[in-house]
Amino acid sequence: MGVLVPVGLLLGLAAAVPILLHLLHRTERERISFPALQYLLRMERDHARQIRMRQWLLLALRILLLLLLALAAARAVLRGGGSAHPPTSVVIVLDNSMSSGRVVGTGRVLDTLRARALETLGVAGDGDRFWVVRAGSPWDAVSPLSADAARERVLATDVVDTWADLTASVSRARDILDRTGAPRGEVHLLSDLQASAFPLETLPDSAPAWPVLAWTGSTATEPNGYVASAVVGGGLAPRAGRRTDVAIAIGGDLDIEEERGIRLLVDGRLEGAVRTRPGASVVLPVGPFDAGTLEAEVEIDPDALSTDDRFFLRTGVVPPPTVARIGDTGEFLASALDLLEEEGRIVAAASGEADVIVASDGEVPASLRPDQDLVVVPASDAARRTALGRQLAQLGIAIDVGPVREGESRIATDATGAGLEGVAVRGSGRVLPGPGARAWVTLDDGSVWAASALASSGSEVTVLASPLLPEGTDVPLSAGMIPLVEWLVGRSGAGSDARLRAGDTLRVSGRATEVESPAGTRIPVDGTLEVRATSRVGIWTVLAGDTVLERLALNAPPRESTLEPLAPSDLRDRLGGSVETARTSARWGATVYAERQGRELWRTLLVLALVLLLVESLIGASGGTEPTRARITPQPGGVSRSPADRTPPRVDHP
Amino acid sequence: MPRTRDRRPDLLDPPTLARLGGLELLARQVVEGFLMGLHRSPHRGFSAEFAELRNYQPGDDLRYIDWRMYGRSDRFFVKQFEEETNLRAHLLLDVSASMDWSSRPGELPPKLWYAKLIAAALSLVLIRQGDTVGLTTFHHEIVSRLPARGGARQWAEITHRLDEASAGGRTLPQTGLRDIATRLRRRGLVVLVSDLLVDRDETLTALRFLKHRGHEVLVMHLIDPGERDLPPAADVRFFDPESERELGINAADVREDYREAVEEAIGEWERALVPEGIDYHVLDTDQPLSLALRAYFRKRERLG
């Protein structure tokens, strides 16, 4: 037994009233003349014990009645059942990421998760507050809600095609509870508990105070297959009029032996088809294509989770650029350019006519045509590097070249699409991008290794931090060398959007006004030039008014395709603090609101109070009903008590 | 019926009757009204005894034709009645303090007022019938004693004594009863008018003694309606104006028990008196006087 409103117990002090009245009346009763006292004495003599017992019973009933009312006012609860609980702040972390769209039976996982959330809200008390954190939509603002508003928000939650970081979402939920200052709070984690949704890098630093109740009844047991990647031309943009190929990797459980059909559709037309098992890769030859943009889609036979069964491709089909070389390009850069030339991907030309000039060893042309791009590969020599900086400044390029430094670094980020992450750079210099310049490759010490900027002529100039020689970097020895060189001379890699995933933040140019989703929804671009709500896979369009600036392919995040659940026992390690789990609806209903105190009893107490009142009335009436009108009336031969025999009018009591 | 009641003060309720006038006037009106009603009642021949037969004459009441004589002689004879010998009646009136109580002062007359009116009315009836009537008022001792006589002057004296009588003292009816038993040499009718808030055993003994001496006894037990039911006040201390004894009690809790106790007490009086040949009548003081007169006439009827 407990109470929700302890102050209501003060009403129990009223129980003293009947006792006080009883004691006071013993000494302060009104004194009235009553000649028929002998009848009273007779009655008391005959019924003394009965009267005393009845009076004590009435006193006890009245005290009990007041105590029941006090308990009802204090909202007494019976532990062990029911949902009554003190006011609680609850953050519902609802996993609406891509994997929650998995179909189980006749519904989706999200439907089950929403049902649990609605159960939580269904037993909410008046003082409860709710927050609904959509784990798959971290860009959503979260605000405190009433139970009804939270119910609407839960029902309005739909599956998005993004990856959910549940560790981060739970941390966010705990931060919310920290900020509320509420005495009681809970985090309800409603998810399919993919192990991939609990990255180790977001582990909480210390054991948080707020308890987590995690639903474990929707974990996946079936295997999932998905299109892990699809690469056109080995990462190089297809050249106009030349055949190319698409390498398709199928991800999924290697235990799956059943082959699945794979289809390649280009502009809606079937270009190729093959069957293979998850874990395998296939290459489909395609083309040739005219110069322009190639948009393709790879799909496999759908399974329970269908969003990752499609993969969108978008790349440019470009004519081979004309490239001029000035200065000593070095053996490796020269070989790469020769290879590209042999493959027909570039065409050699004089510097005055070339689309792109590759300037090596500190040589820089004095001027550039507006449509002519420049790739600068600096020398190792410090004096030449200093001179190069001055020359770049003269061309109006906001990039400087820093001195060579000792030591080894590794490439941390590579936005060129060449896949250079982790490649070592030794004794390297660095570039110092100025205003308006863009860094493409950065090192793990934070310095920039490759950047580009527009020259005053309008030409785009890309500057590397070190020569492409094995003495300075492992890049010439890596598989990314050829793609990097092709990207440098033609900006024609597999497309800068090749690795974009739903949920990634899109960075758009300053001209962009809106971004249109694959479903046709337009999202305005604000001053940050970033669009975070990329909730769908497919082709996104960056618009400046009605003019298309760019089209980008966003695909399913591969981590969402790995459905293997985290063991419930590991949840505590990943989330820290107190973690309870519930696998069934009944268990969930019994576990929510950890501090609840049981079934609320005020209705029962009021009914009992009414019953007591009735009993009290009956007992009181048995000793004190209103006077009846029966009278003893003289009759022949004796006494009659028949009131009907009286003819005269009767005087009623006042 | 309202017209009949207007002409019959004996049928009026005491609060109404009390507003009509003084004791003598009221008693006279009550008796007149009661006798008027009595002629219409089926009770007849209450005060005369059969004496002889005489020849029937036109105008005689056919009810008094002796049909047996007609069968034997083929002539009509009418039964001749003669006046009854005088009855000596004595009224014994309780004027103890408890009699001066009304549960609704100012609205319902006290029991003593009711008792005086009964005594006055009975006296008038008795004197009109040629009987003699005496009056004794008492509480714990004899207050006033008026020997039995007849005539209008006796009734005037009785009403005067009644007017003067005031309540006081404790109730000891055995005092008056034994006093009368020793003084009345000739057997007669003794009418005790009291609220009987007395020592029951002592009173019963005195009444039986009176009966043993050959007297007819009529007990009129007066009860104020407020003595049958406890007052509406819930938690009070009741005190007896005669003995000053007190009892604190919650009236609401014992109301039904009290009512049963009153009924039981009345029943005990009845069970004790009736087998002894003593007439016992309970009269509520909010009831018309005719009930008391009727009780007397029934008794007188049996006396012949």
Contact yes or no for B262 and A627 at CB 8 A: no
A113 and A194 assigned to the same domain: yes
A448 and A347 assigned to the same domain: yes
Cβ-Cβ contacts under 8 Å between A and B: the total is 168
- Condensed to tens digits (0 to 9), the pLDDT of residues A252-278 reads 877 777 888 999 999 888 989 999 888
Is residue A328 pLDDT above 80, yes or no? yes
Question: How many CA atoms lie within 13 Å of B215's alpha carbon, on the beta-carbon side?
Answer: 28
A592 and A605 assigned to the same domain: no
Looking at CA atoms only, how far is residue A11 from chain B in angstroms?
A: 25
Chain B residues inside the 8 Å CB shell of A653:
103-104, 225-226, 229
Contact yes or no for A639 and B254 at CB 8 A: no
- Please give the average per-residue pLDDT across A282-302, as a whole number: 89
Residue A237 domain flag: no
Decide if B112 contacts B164 (C-beta within 8 A). no
- Interface pTM, i.e. ipTM: 0.73
**Which chain A residues in 186-245 lie under 8 Å from chain B, judged by CB atoms?**
none
Nearest Cα to Cα of residue B152 among B189, B121, B124 = B124
Looking at CA atoms only, how far is residue A52 from chain B in angstroms?
A: 10
A331 and A433 assigned to the same domain: yes
B98 and B206 assigned to the same domain: yes
B167 and B187 assigned to the same domain: yes
User: Measuring CA to CA, how many Å separate B156 from each of B133, B144, B167?
Assistant: 12, 15, 21
A341 and A449 assigned to the same domain: yes
Beta bridge mates, A469: none
Chain B residues inside the 8 Å CB shell of A38:
197, 240, 265
pLDDT value of residue A460 = 85
Residue A637 domain flag: no
Looking at CA atoms only, how far is residue A69 from chain B in angstroms?
A: 23
Gyration radius (Cα) of chain A, Å: 41
B16 and B125 assigned to the same domain: yes
Say yes or no: A629 contacts chain B, CB-CB below 8 A: no
- Please give the average per-residue pLDDT across A17-25, as a whole number: 69
Is residue A250 pLDDT above 80, yes or no? yes
Residue A475 domain flag: yes
Q: Domain count for chain A, please give it.
A: 3
**Token pair in block for residue A305:** 């989770």
- Condensed to tens digits (0 to 9), the pLDDT of residues A382-439 reads 788 888 888 888 888 888 888 777 788 889 998 887 888 898 888 777 888 888 888 8
Decide if B242 contacts A35 (C-beta within 8 A). yes
Nearest Cα to Cα of residue B11 among B33, B40, B41 = B33
B293 and B200 assigned to the same domain: yes
B67 and B159 assigned to the same domain: no
Sign of the torsion angle spanned by Cα atoms A525, A530, A535, A539: positive
Q: Is A381 exposed, middle or buried (0-12, 13-18, 19+ CB in 10 A)?
A: middle
A70 and A194 assigned to the same domain: no
- Condensed to tens digits (0 to 9), the pLDDT of residues A536-548 reads 999 999 999 888 9
Contact yes or no for B288 and A31 at CB 8 A: no
Going through A221-372 in order, the beta strands assigned E by DSSP cover 225-232, 244-252, 260-266, 269-276, 281-286, 292-300, 310-317, 322-326, 347-348, 356-360
Beta bridge mates, B222: B283
Contact yes or no for B257 and A623 at CB 8 A: yes
Contact yes or no for B238 and A32 at CB 8 A: yes
Last residue within a domain, chosen from A550, A580, A596: A596
Please count the other Cβ atoms lying within 10 Å of the Cβ belonging to residue A636.
Answer: 10
CATH number at residue A442: 3.40.50.880
Looking at CA atoms only, how far is residue A5 from chain B in angstroms?
A: 36
Instruction: Please name the residue ranges forming H helices in A404-510.
Output: 481-490
A475 and A336 assigned to the same domain: yes
Decide if A359 contacts A388 (C-beta within 8 A). no
CA angle B272, B275, B281 (to 5 degrees): 65
CATH number at residue B284: 3.40.50.410
**Separation of alpha carbons A584 and A10, rounded Å:** 41
Last residue within a domain, chosen from B62, B83, B104: B83
B173 and B213 assigned to the same domain: yes
By C-alpha distance, the chain B residue nearest A638 is B280
Decide if A75 contacts B267 (C-beta within 8 A). no
3-class secondary-structure state, position B190 = strand
Total residue length of chain B: 304
**Token pair in block for residue B229:** 């039911």
Say yes or no: A41 contacts chain B, CB-CB below 8 A: yes
B56 and B200 assigned to the same domain: no
B79 and B141 assigned to the same domain: no
A349 and A450 assigned to the same domain: yes
A117 and A165 assigned to the same domain: yes
**Token pair in block for residue A380:** 């190792």
B53 and B143 assigned to the same domain: no
Is residue A109 pLDDT above 90, yes or no? yes
A36 and A180 assigned to the same domain: no
Q: DSSP characters for A416-432?
A: SSS--TT-EEES---EE
pLDDT value of residue B297 = 72
3-class secondary-structure state, position A218 = coil
**Separation of alpha carbons A71 and A64, rounded Å:** 10
Residue A257 domain flag: no
A45 and A126 assigned to the same domain: no
A605 and A592 assigned to the same domain: no
pLDDT value of residue A474 = 87
Decide if B243 contacts A33 (C-beta within 8 A). no
Total residue length of chain A: 654
- A333-337: long-range pairs with CB below 8 Å, 24+: A333/A358, A333/A360, A333/A377, A333/A467, A333/A468, A333/A476, A333/A485, A336/A468, A336/A476, A336/A481, A336/A482, A336/A485, A337/A485, A337/A489
Residue A213 domain flag: yes
**Token pair in block for residue A395:** 């061309």
**Separation of alpha carbons B249 and B298, rounded Å:** 41
Sign of the torsion angle spanned by Cα atoms A112, A118, A122, A124: positive
Give me the domain span that covers residue A414: 322-490
B52 and B154 assigned to the same domain: no
- Condensed to tens digits (0 to 9), the pLDDT of residues A430-482 reads 888 888 888 899 998 888 999 988 887 778 889 998 888 888 888 888 888 98
3-class secondary-structure state, position A270 = strand
**Which chain A residues in 56-95 lie under 8 Å from chain B, judged by CB atoms?**
58
3-class secondary-structure state, position A40 = helix
B127 and B215 assigned to the same domain: yes
3-class secondary-structure state, position A401 = strand
Nearest Cα to Cα of residue A237 among A309, A343, A338 = A343
Q: Domain count for chain B, please give it.
A: 2
Q: What string of pLDDT tens digits covers the 304 residues of chain B? A: 344 444 555 655 666 655 555 666 566 666 666 655 543 333 333 344 555 677 777 766 677 778 888 888 888 887 765 444 467 889 999 998 889 889 888 888 899 998 998 888 888 888 887 788 899 998 888 888 898 888 888 888 998 999 888 888 777 777 778 787 777 777 788 899 999 988 888 888 888 888 888 888 889 999 999 888 887 766 678 888 877 788 877 777 778 888 888 999 999 999 999 898 888 988 888 888 777 777 777 766 665 5
Residues 6 or more apart whose CB falls under 8 angstroms from that of A344 comprise: A239, A242, A320
Last residue within a domain, chosen from B83, B103, B135: B83
Last residue within a domain, chosen from B83, B107, B137: B83
Give me the domain span that covers residue B54: 48-83
> Helix A16-27 crosses helix A37-73 at what angle (to 10 degrees)?
160
State phi, psi for A185 to the nearest 5 degrees: -155, 155
Instruction: Mean pLDDT check: name the lowest of A92-101, A589-598, B34-43, B158-167.
Output: B34-43
Q: How confident is the model at residue A654 (pLDDT cuts 50, 70, 90)?
A: very low
Mutate to test the interface with A, among B16, B254, B262 (most CBs of A within 10 A): B254
